Chain A
């Protein structure tokens, strides 16, 4: 078949192909006028940048003071191409190259996320597939596979480098963090100086039906909230949760209203519990960063970010009685939408990334993580990160988008849509609160049904062409043109000899650990944790203590699961180790 001659036939006619609605289904008018925002009161509803209710941004000078934090997932880019170097060598080089400009995010192996150990029968080929195999303090010691991440932690303490504990699976985040505390203590570093943030949202995996790994909701909620409480009391510069992983939930197919309502629903769930435990709202409320999805619908994304800060301000004052004069605003971040990226013509994803980054910046984010143009195909090659750095630099330095804070304020459309989103979120959130909050709404199955319905609706709109995806359901003739881009170099495995050298080394390392650790220390620490987990005291100090004494993540979580009345192994394939007496 010959390719379409774009000189002769322009696939774009004179009329929009798409249904005339925003991504979340708002029927918008042709234009907006003063009467659409007649009720808007500048001081009450907007305020100056850096002032309550922070619609216009978190800081008075915004990007003139400080550019957004540019997060980069660690691990994938190190381990994708197998160029005969050790992970540590590649990690050092990557640091030197400046790819991690101000923050690095963890991206755990699946067994790490599932909180089981590398020798569990479901793990096998997963070992070391992402950032490396984390299972105990041992994984991070000098000479071991994850020691390069220890260097990130040390830099956080010495230089204030931002650690992003972003497995996004709550129990995995808090186990790793407990390991870091035990590790840094052993190395003589002051872990109370750690700076960074954690996703640590134990509810969203039950909402989006992804990364769930059969972790019981009660177990996840308990260890995660225990960790939040302990961190707030002990590590002042660490944000112990983002209060609801809106990005992951959004990727399950929900709309903007649900994204914000679920995020704040989770936030309220954690905050209520911490306040009940005696943490003051003033000490806690501003810590969870508002981390949203940077979607392709430009104005909806901008208005969502502006609305999110006002929603926070209203919840803080109206629900928790905070004083607007002393209240602080959390940072607002985006993770650019992976599901907007296409496998067809990956170069178009560079444009999608640009639009989403512009929307994030015009919406006033304090941090942003971009996707590689390969998102729909593979993990990104280093070239994709270079492209993203270029996009951010061009937006800030050439296009001058970082010069003026909240430049779209006062636009009839932007203010109308910001108000509309806020109102609809509060109405939807009220429904959840009337059901008894997010945990109750999840347990009843209502949330999952809403997600399913939204995902199906989205799929139908794509299939019917109501939502246009260029090169997927429209403009397919553009696929006739071959536009090559660098892709990840694969380590090609043999199906009958599937383990790489590095994986074999990781398994040897794990076996050596299991053989050489001192069981007379492991045993009492785990048994003490088991007894504590049966009651309702905070288990986090005992978790840290178990890691201090060389317990593994699988053992720590297994013991807690069993103490709370669930199977030691949530997949019911293995039993507790023989040396433990769990009665």
Chain B
């Protein structure tokens, strides 16, 4: 049977203009068999959550190269809650200090990927978390 495909919304929020991570990620996620709904740069949490709901996405991925991630991620989490869509997985990646990884994962981000994380780790963790949280498949013993 063909493996169920993870549907993944990929975006950058606000005025962060560092586009390269999005190109690299969309290719990497597709290579790992995911379906990427590419929103690109200069997005808002409203647009991202709306797209995730409309597309029945399994996960949202936000990439940050600026220090503004804390506020944008907080807004996204609030919007997911308001829309009762907390089962959509939320991933964050970029130049994020170790202390903030802990902070963001505490308030609702499923995983924060810091600089130097390989594409294999990123894609395997996304698949595993989506299966467990969104598709509710118990991990193999």
Contacts and interface: CB of A to CB of B under 8 A. Distances in A.
Interface of A: 110-111, 113-114, 121-126, 129, 209-214, 343-344, 376-378, 455, 490, 492-496, 498-499, 571
Contacts of A490: 97, 99-100
B115 A376 contact: yes
A184 B101 CA distance: 45
Given A122-B14, A122-B15, A125-B14, A495 B70 contact: yes
Interface string B94-115: 0101011001100100000001
A498 B115 contact: no
Interface string B10-32: 00001111111000000000000
Contact of A495 (B18, B71, B99): B71
Contact of B71 (A121, A378, A493): A493
* Most A C-beta atoms less than 10 A away, residue of B16, B70, B73: B70
Nearest to B108: A495
Looking at chain A's contact residues, the main secondary structure is loop
Contact of B42 (A122, A211, A492): A122
Interface in B42-100: 42, 44, 66-68, 70-74, 77-78, 95, 97, 99-100
B127 to A, nearest CB: 23
A490 B107 CA distance: 19
Contacts, number: 78
Question: Which 3 residue pairs of A and B lie closest in terms of their CB atoms, listed nearest first?
Answer: A495-B74, A498-B71, A125-B71
B106 to A, nearest CB: 9
Given A121-B44, A343-B115, A499 B71 contact: yes
B68 A125 contact: yes
Contact of B74 (A111, A122, A498): A498
Interface of B: 14-20, 42, 44, 66-68, 70-74, 77-78, 95, 97, 99-100, 103-104, 107, 115-116
Nearest to A111: B15
A327 B73 CA distance: 55
Nearest to A110: B15
B99 A210 contact: no
Contacts of B116: 343-344
A211 B18 CA distance: 7
Contact of A492 (B19, B78, B95, B99): B99
A123 B99 contact: no
Given A122-B44, A212-B17, A378-B97, A495 B104 contact: yes
A455 B24 CA distance: 12
Contacts of B77: 495
A381 to B, nearest CB: 13
28 contacts: A110-B66, A111-B15, A122-B44, A123-B14, A123-B15, A124-B68, A124-B71, A125-B14, A126-B15, A129-B67, A212-B17, A213-B17, A213-B42, A214-B42, A343-B115, A376-B115, A377-B97, A455-B20, A493-B70, A493-B71, A494-B70, A495-B73, A495-B77, A495-B103, A495-B104, A496-B78, A498-B70, A498-B71
Given A495-B77, A495-B103, A498-B70, A210 B14 contact: no
Given A210-B19, A344-B116, A378-B97, A124 B14 contact: yes
* Most A C-beta atoms less than 10 A away, residue of B44, B99, B104: B44
A126 B18 contact: no
A121 B44 CA distance: 8
A129 B18 contact: no
